[in-house]
Structure 1
Amino acid sequence: MLLNSIQDLMRPPPGMAFDFSQPRGEPALTPAHGVSWRVFANPVSLFIGGVTAVLLELAEPSVRSGVWDHSGFRRDPPTRLRRTGFAAMMTVYGPRPAAEKMIAHVVRMHDRVQGTTPAGVAYRANDPRLLDWVHATASFGFAEAYHRYVRALSAAEKDAVYAEGLASAGLYGATGAPASWSAWEAMLARTAPGLEGSDVLAEFLGIMMEAAILPAPLRWLQRLLVRAAVEMTPAPVRSLPQLRGHRLRFGEAALVRSLARGSGLLPLGDTPPVQAARRMAGGRAVRHQGRAT
């Protein structure tokens, strides 16, 4: 039940079915079987990393207003998460023409997203500065979750996650997205003074803890994975009042690692990573997350 429930977040939502196995041999925006293909194939760390990324995004005032005021997350969290997960799958594993088409559609939608923060600061979703932050936090979240809870990444592998994401970043308009881990750390240091807590941050955390994202018998696990996301969030945000008291408890980090690593030993099913591996005929077939056979 656990793996199937989390894998559902990797599959296209209703009305957005897509076959990642076609057309045969068509490359993705990221290199086939690169570091990103491993990182994005683990459903447990993908969930954790996605929560961390949103926590960082919602701490930036302009991004927070753009995301919270113009999305349906509060109305239907599971569907919104599946749509976001599908976009991530397409960006990493999708055939390049389809990924480019999807990103162009998102950019057009973002053209209509603009407004003013509660502090009176004007924002627009396609502002390169904001796009750079969103792209950087997503790369951090997914890479760090994999590093902490699945398998330690080397410095070169961490750099590769950022470098492999530059093609999609450019298409989204994130022209200043970090190309390495050190560049991400520099961006975080520059941005940290402007990060802040808010009622929205607390509301998001509450939704992720209690919404029917996983089946009711697994709600305890949902809360555990959200706490794992808070645990690895960088200090400028992790120390905000809204996140205090939501870190992992004694012994829980080991449990999260066992769950994440265990998910890598089970068949992935017919998910985008597996379909993309079939599309890239002649490459290594991926039958288990993070393993080539």
Structure 2
Amino acid sequence: MAGDLMRADGMSVDFATPAGAPALAAPDSVSWRIFKNPVSLFIGGVAAVLLELAEPKVRSGVWDHTRFRTEPVTRLKRTGLAAMVTVYAPREVAEAMIAGVNRRHARVTGVTEGGAAYAADDPDLLDWVQATASYGFIEAYDRFVEPLGEALKDQAFAEAAPAARLYGAMNAPTSVAGWRASLSAMDGRLEASPVIFEFLEIIRRAPALPGAGRLAQPMLVKAAVDLLPPALKTRLGLEAQGLSLI
């Protein structure tokens, strides 16, 4: 199921060549455990996108410059495959892929509905995107797969740092405390938006998961909503979207 979720049309990655080459994360890492689980990948990925869409500049960049609305499954699979590459692929493969992403980001600029200029390669935005991804995957695994505890969560955040730096996120959190600090620093910028509800409706209906996973998809989306910090979930108007109201 994890392989199906991350198999992106038009993207081919050789995870085995060069043979024996080290990945950005070690085989005995917490990241290897987290990323091979489809539950933490899907739930965590959706939670990360919700946190990203709450920030106006990231929201505009994602919604205006990607195919989320028209081809959500392709977009999700490409994002998921990129995440898998940063964990499992040989370092040089990951570096080449990330360099390509960075080149594309360098061309993405615009203005939010509120009139604020943004650029996809803004270091603050890159830090936030990396922070939300780490938080989403780690917290989803901890809550819905098996408890990790604070020490292993810290380790997982730290393991994401090499890839984060390659993306240009030089100050992405490397611990649970770092995540809390990032969330606190960003808190005043996070806001409700119709785009968040549009995304939730899209991701509930899009055939992102294969087989029986498709039937569970709406429930997994609710689980993703419940990963958001309670006060933020309330501010975004998402109280009725989580598992607690089933």
TM range (shorter): over 0.9
Q: 1:31: how far off?
A: 2.1
TM-superposed deviation, 1:214:
3.4
- Confirm or deny that 1:38 pairs with 2:33: yes
Structure with greater proportional helix content: 2
Higher RCO (CA 8 Å, separation ≥ 6 residues): 1
**1:222 counterpart residue number:** 217
User: For the Cα contact (< 8 Å) 2:158–2:174, is it kept in 1?
Assistant: yes
Question: Following superposition, which runs of at least 4 residues in structure 1 exceed 4 angstroms of deviation?
Answer: 215-219
Residue 160 of structure 2 corresponds to 165
Instruction: For 1:91 and 1:103, locate their aligned partners in 2 and report how far apart those are by CA, in whole Å.
Output: 8
The structure whose Rg is larger is 1
How many correspondences in the alignment? 246
Gaps in structure 2 of 5+ consecutive residues: none
Over the matched positions of the two proteins, sequence identity in percent amounts to 54
CA contact (8 A) 1:230 1:246 kept: yes
Aligned CA distance change for structure 1 residues 157 and 216 (closer, same or farther; 3 Å): closer
Residue 6 of structure 2 aligns with an amino acid whose one-letter code is M
Residue 235 of structure 1 deviates from its aligned partner by: 2.4
1:94-128 deviations in whole A, cap 9, x for unaligned?
A: 10001000000000000010111111111100000
Query: Is the 2:25–2:31 Cα contact (8 Å) retained in structure 1?
Result: yes
CA contact (8 A) 1:113 1:124 kept: yes
Cα distance in 2 for partners of 1:207, 1:22 equals: 36
Match for residue 96 of structure 1 among 84, 87, 91: 91
Task: Give the corresponding residue for 2:242.
Answer: 247
Matched, 1:47 2:47: no
Aligned-CA RMSD value:
1.7
Q: C-alpha distance in 2, partners of 1:30/1:216?
A: 30
Q: Which amino acid aligns with 1:8?
A: D
The TM-score normalised by the length of structure 1 is 0.80
Counterpart of 1:65 in structure 2: which amino acid? S
CA contact (8 A) 1:115 1:124 kept: yes
Q: TM-score, normalised by structure 2?
A: 0.95
Deviation, structure 1 residue 242: 4.0
Q: From 38, 52, 56, give the equivalent of 1:61.
A: 56
Shift in Å, 1:162: 1.3
**What's the CA shift string for 1:36-57, capped at 9, x where partnerless?**
1111110111100000000000
| Alpha-carbon distance in structure 2 between the residues aligned to 1:214 and 1:39 | 18
**Partner residue, 2:195:** 200
